[in-house]
Amino acid sequence: MPYKAEISSANPSCFLFLIDQSTSMAEEVSAGEATQQKAMGVANSINRWLQELSIKCSKSDGVRDYYHVGVIGYGMKVQPCLAGSNGHTMIPISEIANNPARVEGDDGPRTPIWFDAVADGGTPMCRAVSEAEQIIQGWLEAHPDGFPPIVIHITDGEATDGDPTDRLHHLTNLATSDGNVMLFNIHLSAHPGATSLSFPSDAKQLPDEYSKMLFETASLLTPTMRALAKEYGFETSEGSRGFVLNADMTVLVQAIDIGTRPSNLR
C-alpha cells in the first residue's frame, strides 16, 4: 500500500464528494446539543472543509493548486454543485478559494459558501457513481503519477436506480502509479437497529445488507489515516475501512478530515 506520492502544484491530487440530495436528506439529525437537517449539516461540513483546505494551501504567493476538488450531488438531478463550476467537475483549489457563491455573517467571522443544502428527488446512486468513475478516469489520464484520488460519498438511503456494488468496485479499481482510488462511504441510516459506528474492521454490528454493502466497498484506511483517526479517539485496526454509520455532524466533520487532511505537500 504505497500512498507516498509527494503532492505539489505540479503533481496535485484530488477530492471528489458524492452527495445524496434526495428528499429524505431533509430529515433532522443530531448536531451537538441541537438538531438540523441532514442536508444542511452536510453542506455546512463541506463549506467548512473547503475553507480550511483553502487556508492550508495558502502560501505567501497565494493559494497553490495542490488539489482539485469536485462535488457531485444526486437527487432530482446528478450534477456538479460547487459555486462557479460552470459545468466543470474538478476545480483547482485556488479557483474555489477565490470564487465562493457568497459570504455570510454580519457579526463576527464571515463564512464563504460554495455548496448549498438540497433535499429533493430520489436516490440515483448508480448514475452518480458512474459519473464519478468517468470524472476520476479523466483526471487520472492527466495525472497518472499523483497521490490517488479520494472519493467521499455521503448518503442516507438505498439507491433507487439499481445495485451500485459493481460500480463502486469499478471506481476503486482505478489507480495512479501510487495506489488505487480511495472511497469513504458515510451512511446516515434510518434503520431502527443502526447505531453510531466509525471505521469498523468487520460488518458484524451493521444492521442491514445495504450498510454491509457500503462497508465492503469502502477502502481500507492507510496507516496515516489510522493515525489521524487515533488523534480523534477512534479505535482502528489494519482491517478498518473508510466507513462511518450514523455519524452526528461532529463525527461527520472528523471523518471528512481523516479522509482528506493534506499530507506530503511540497
Q: Work out whether the CA dihedral 86, 89, 94, 96 comes out positive or negative.
A: positive
| pLDDT digit string, tens, across residues 196-227 | 899 999 999 998 999 999 999 999 999 999 99
CATH architecture for the domain at 13-260: 3-Layer(aba) Sandwich (3.40)
| pLDDT digit string, tens, across residues 58-83 | 998 899 999 999 999 999 999 999 98
Does 1 have pLDDT greater than 70? no
Average pLDDT for the chain: 91
Tell me the pLDDT band of 140, cut-offs 50, 70 and 90: very high
Q: How confident is the model at residue 31, as a pLDDT?
A: 59
| pLDDT digit string, tens, across residues 2-17 | 898 999 999 999 999 9
| pLDDT digit string, tens, across residues 88-120 | 789 999 999 999 999 987 776 788 999 999 999
Q: Residue 257 has what DSSP assignment?
A: H
Does 262 have pLDDT greater than 70? no
Cβ of 96: how many Cβ atoms within 10 Å?
Answer: 27
Q: How confident is the model at residue 242, as a pLDDT?
A: 96
What is the per-residue burial (b if ≥16 Cβ within 10 Å, else e) of 30-61? bbeeeebbbbbbbbbbbbebbbbbbeebeeee
Backbone angles phi, psi at 178, to 5 degrees: -100, -5
Full-model pTM:
0.94
Map out the domains of the chain as residue ranges. 13-260
| pLDDT digit string, tens, across residues 28-45 | 876 566 778 999 999 999
Residue 24 near residue 190, CB atoms below 8 Å: yes
Residue 49: in which H helix or E strand, if any? helix 38-56
- Grid cell, residue 153, equals 460519498
